[in-house]
């Protein structure tokens, strides 16, 4: 069965954002996080080890949901799909990426920071978004303000989320989960 962004959001409360320097330590960290209850893991494409780390984590952690973060364009989307990523997350949402994500076999969770960006994504059929960088663009206040006009849209706020504020985000009806590096 094909996974949807809704499925990813349903399985996650906090998505650890992993930036990994080598494959072995990535697998080790992934294993530790999974054991602690983090089923959904995001590996950012910010290091040269990322793609191989995704491949290995898929092999070694068959019950986790392993996805790629910092996916900026179609080419990167295709490379993470080839590596076995089960979902892709982007900090932004170009039309080219939205189009590629809508046609892809894995769910893409595009990043938005404004109502217009979310509306643009909605035109391609997206209803789940990353809010990025959440704290810098208005955080909880912004999410509360847009929940009425953007009914049916669900967010995973990321960027500046930490131990002190994550519960405020999770308490919002339009927030399914949060992402962040702090948890690591």
Of residues 33-52, those binding ligand 3PG (CB under 6 A): 44
Q: Which of 160, 168, 170, 172 binds ligand 3PG (CB under 6 A)?
A: 160
Question: Which of 83, 89, 81, 62 has its CA nearest to residue 179?
Answer: 89
| Residues between 6 and 25 that touch ligand 3PG (CB under 6 A) | 17
Kindly tell me which of 103 and 136 has the beta carbon lying closer to ligand 3PG.
Answer: 136
State yes or no: residue 165 binds ligand 3PG (CB under 6 A). Answer: no
Closest approach, Cβ 148 to ligand 3PG, in A, equals 26
Q: Does 158 bind ligand 3PG (CB under 6 A)?
A: yes
Q: Is 180 in the site for ligand 3PG (CB under 6 A)?
A: yes
The residue (of 103 and 184) whose beta carbon lies closer to ligand 3PG is 184
Q: Which residues contact 56 (CB under 8 A, 6 or more apart)?
A: 23, 26, 27
Q: Which is nearer to ligand 3PG, 2 or 39 (CB)?
A: 39
Count of CB atoms situated within 10 Å of the CB of 40: 25
Q: Which residue's Cβ lies closest to ligand 3PG?
A: 180
**Residue span 86-115 as binding mask against ligand 3PG, x where in contact by CB under 6 A, dash where not:** -----x------------------------
CB of 132 to ligand 3PG, least distance (A): 6
CB 178 within 8 A of CB 166: yes
- Interface ranges with ligand 3PG (CB under 6 A): 17, 44, 69-70, 91, 158-161, 179-182
């Amino acid at each position: 069965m094909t996974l949807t962004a809704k499925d990813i959001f349903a399985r996650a409360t906090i998505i650890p954002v992993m930036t990994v320097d080598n494959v072995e330590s990535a697998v080790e960290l992934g294993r530790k996080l999974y054991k602690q209850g983090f089923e959904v893991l995001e590996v950012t494409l910010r290091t040269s080890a990322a793609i191989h780390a995704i491949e290995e984590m898929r092999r070694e952690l068959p019950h986790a949901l392993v996805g790629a973060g910092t996916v900026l364009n179609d080419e990167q989307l295709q490379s993470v799909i080839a590596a076995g990523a089960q979902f892709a997350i982007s900090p932004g949402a170009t039309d080219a990426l939205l189009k590629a994500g809508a046609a892809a076999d894995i769910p893409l969770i595009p990043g938005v920071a404004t109502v217009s960006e979310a509306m643009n994504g909605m035109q391609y059929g997206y209803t789940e978004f990353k809010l990025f960088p959440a704290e810098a663009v208005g955080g909880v206040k912004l999410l509360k303000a847009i929940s009425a006009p953007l009914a049916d849209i669900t967010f995973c706020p990321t960027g500046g989320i930490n131990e002190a504020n994550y519960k405020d985000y999770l308490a919002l009806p339009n927030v399914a989960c949060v992402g962040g590096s702090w948890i690591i």
